[in-house]
Amino acid sequence: MAGNTNLWIKAYVSPDYIDKLKIDQIVYYYSHNIKHKGSIAQIEHNADVSGLVPIFINTNNKALIAGQWVNLEIPVIKNTQFCVPKSAIVSKDSKTYVFIVKDNVVYQKQVNLINISNNTAYINGNLNKNEPLAISATDRLKNNIKVKIIK
């Protein structure tokens, strides 16, 4: 911790989690079994010699002292991973999308493309397990248009 008025906590996280964190994200820390709220102030770009990446947490807790240990809780939003036909993937403007079909209308949803193998795409994003996807003529689809489902 440093600074006269801005008390902070330095923590270390695995490089695998850095892309799941963002500046000003709310985190929680426990001091003397009491839960406090803080926010991520800084995320380093490189791992240190331990292989972990330092992050810094802003606090307003005047009771913390230099060198004090606290337990840190970092809520991470998890996206579900899916395996979909490669034909369901649409790329434009350096982003990846799928089209969800609901009541014969397609809705564009942004996803993260993890990998493509043969005719299968591995993605993650804010999708529901049983949402029907458009898998043909996706290059001609636009958000919020009516479609006819052919089975």
- Cβ atoms of 30 and 40 within 8 Å: the answer is no
Kind of pairing between the strands at 26-31 and 120-125:
unpaired
- Cβ atoms of 39 and 77 within 8 Å: the answer is no
Structure tokens of 15? Answer: 């490089």
pLDDT in tens, 94-115: 889 999 999 999 999 999 888 8
- Cβ atoms of 123 and 113 within 8 Å: the answer is yes
pLDDT in tens, 19-54: 778 899 999 999 888 999 999 999 998 888 888 999
Q: What is the CATH number of domain 80-146?
A: 2.40.420.20
The mean pLDDT value of the chain amounts to 86
In the predicted structure, residue 93 carries a pLDDT above the cut 50: yes
In the predicted structure, residue 63 carries a pLDDT above the cut 90: no
Strands (E), 16-150: 26-31, 34-43, 53-59, 71-73, 80-85, 90-92, 95-102, 105-117, 120-125, 145-146
Distance CA 84, CA 112 (A): 12
Query: CATH fold of 7-73, please?
Result: Elongation Factor Tu (Ef-tu); domain 3 (2.40.30)
pLDDT in tens, 9-25: 999 998 878 877 889 99
User: Full-prediction pTM beyond 0.85?
Assistant: no
Burial class of residue 9 (count of CB atoms within 10 Å of its CB; 0-12, 13-18, 19+)? buried
Where do the domains of the chain lie? 7-73, 80-146
How sure is the predictor about 77, in pLDDT bands with cuts at 50, 70 and 90?
Answer: low
